[in-house]
């Protein structure tokens, strides 16, 4: 697969790079960013943390605002940040911020016109890792993390593919999208009115029924404006108790939904993932 380099910046001895490529599953040109730590320049194949961003974001938000590069360089972890949806003039869209471009919800849409391009689940699970592992000096040891809509994506993708990820984490995730305004709007539009089909993309439903476990870390700000109506971490916590899921959920007083919150605790997440990435065999 041909990829095109857009930008390159040295950071903490490693390299932040942006690329574009033609996606076969999304039927459009996509952009992603990758941070390669210094260890990758010495011929070492390094593990990868996939970061999924939230509503309205692109690959740039995390890489520019989270301050993750210093710790990633220290730990020898590459970070890959994809876009949050398909892009292009012929891609279906909506006037609202929480549907359409920038709001792919990391699922495979089944309803027209969205089912033409909106296959973000397949892109994140299959196509993008195949491209990354074939192009860069990285191993097939993978972890996954995200924020808000991306936290929802990270949790659901890891739980549905426990053989592919060593660990999962999230900041302020949409934990029960089948039961909140953001999720109900997106799921009914992308997946249709049959709510039985929604459970496969609902972290709380998946965690409640889980029999295979991926270690999980979730951080939530107590001053988050979306906490009560949209995020509902207490539902995820209750689901974990049912299946005895290895979930560590932390509530932080005073913190909101912003990247100030993410930047405050991102090093904790990188250390958490490093523990599992460095003690695991390659994934499938």
* Weakly modelled stretches of the chain, pLDDT under 50: none
pLDDT of residue 173: 98
pLDDT of residue 284: 67
pLDDT of residue 165: 98
pLDDT of residue 43: 81
Q: Is the CB of residue 48 less than 8 Å from the CB of residue 143?
A: yes
Catalytic annotation, residues: 148, 224, 257
């Amino acid at each position: 697969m041909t990829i095109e380099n857009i930008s390159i910046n040295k950071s903490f001895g490693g390299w932040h790079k942006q690329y574009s490529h033609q996606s076969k599953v999304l039927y459009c040109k996509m952009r992603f960013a990758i941070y390669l730590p210094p260890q990758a320049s010495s011929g070492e194949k390094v593990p990868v943390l996939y970061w999924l961003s939230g509503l309205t974001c692109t690959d740039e938000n995390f890489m520019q605002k989270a301050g993750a590069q210093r710790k990633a360089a220290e730990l020898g972890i590459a970070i890959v940040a994809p876009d949050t949806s398909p892009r292009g003039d012929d891609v279906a869209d909506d006037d609202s911020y929480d549907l359409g471009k920038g709001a792919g919800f990391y699922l495979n849409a089944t309803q027209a016109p969205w089912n033409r391009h909106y296959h973000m689940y397949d892109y994140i699970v299959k196509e993008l890792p195949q491209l990354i592992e074939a192009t860069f000096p990285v191993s097939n040891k993978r972890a996954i993390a995200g924020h808000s809509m991306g936290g929802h994506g990270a949790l659901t993708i890891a739980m549905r593919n426990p053989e592919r990820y060593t660990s999962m984490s999230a900041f302020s995730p949409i934990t029960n999208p089948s039961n909140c305004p953001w999720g109900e709007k997106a799921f009914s539009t992308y997946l249709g009115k049959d709510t039985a089909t929604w459970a496969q993309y609902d972290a709380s439903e998946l965690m409640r029924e889980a029999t295979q476990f991926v270690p999980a870390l979730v951080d939530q700000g107590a001053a988050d404006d979306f906490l009560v109506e949209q995020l509902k971490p207490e539902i995820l916590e209750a689901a974990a108790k049912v299946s005895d899921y290895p979930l560590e959920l932390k509530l932080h007083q005073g913190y909101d939904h912003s990247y100030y919150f993410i930047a405050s605790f991102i090093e904790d997440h990188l250390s958490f993932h490093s523990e599992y990435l460095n003690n695991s065999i390659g994934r499938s």
